[in-house]
Amino acid sequence: MERNRWETAIRCLEIAVHPNTSDKEVLAAINGFRRTASNTPLSQLWRESASPGSDGPTTPDWKGELDRLDQENRELRRKIKEIDDSRSAILRSQQEVEQRAREISEELLAAEYRADVAEQQLAEFRGAYGRISGGSRHENFHLRGTLEETGHNATAPMRAPAPFQTVLNAALQRVDQAQVSPPIPVVGQPWTA
């Protein structure tokens, strides 16, 4: 097939597969391809366009283009993997932050409960302290009165305590008297030493 015919046939196919082509235009482009190609199979059209004698792309050109596209494809896959890994790390970090927030929330609730209990105990302590301090004021009043009475009685002369030597001599004297007199036997009971 000559060059103009296969270029026209390829152009008809390009129009047929273009996304902005209407259905009527697609049918017209396909019919144009069929007329231009004269029932020549597409594979034969491709071989003629790729043959070294034609002006179409050669096999080494296609191979280089395929290698370049393959390299771009690998690079894009690597970037996609990096993005997925980064997204996974962010998701794990977010889950850890949410878990820590739940733990802190639970700790905060427990601390609030302990604070409420402590406030209640403090109120009870203040009440008990008020009752005790009120009672102790009353007792202090009576104790002061008693102290004043004893203070008046303290001015009266007190008997001086006996010196220890006097008490000791009296005790020793009683011991000596107990040793001198023989024991008196009780009637009805045998005497024992």
Structure tokens at 185: 């036997």
Is the confidence at residue 1, as pLDDT, over 50? no
pLDDT mean across residues, the chain: 78
Query: 116: which 2 tokens?
Result: 């409420």
What pLDDT was estimated at residue 84?
93
Q: Is the pLDDT of residue 89 over 90?
A: yes
pLDDT of residue 106: 94
Best-predicted range by mean pLDDT (53-67, 84-98, 164-178): 84-98
Confidence at residue 116, expressed as pLDDT on a 0 to 100 scale:
93
| pTM strictly above 0.75 | no
| Residue 83, pLDDT score | 94
Q: Does residue 154 contact residue 147 with C-beta atoms inside 8 Å?
A: no
Task: Inform me whether the pLDDT recorded for 157 exceeds 60.
Answer: no
What is the rounded distance in angstroms from the CA atom of residue 169 to the CA atom of residue 86? 104
Most confident of 21-35, 129-143, 161-175: 21-35
pLDDT at 178 over 70: no
Cα separation, 8 vs 1, in Å, equals 11
Task: Tell which wins on pLDDT, 161 or 163.
Answer: 163
Checking if the pLDDT of 104 tops 50, the result is yes
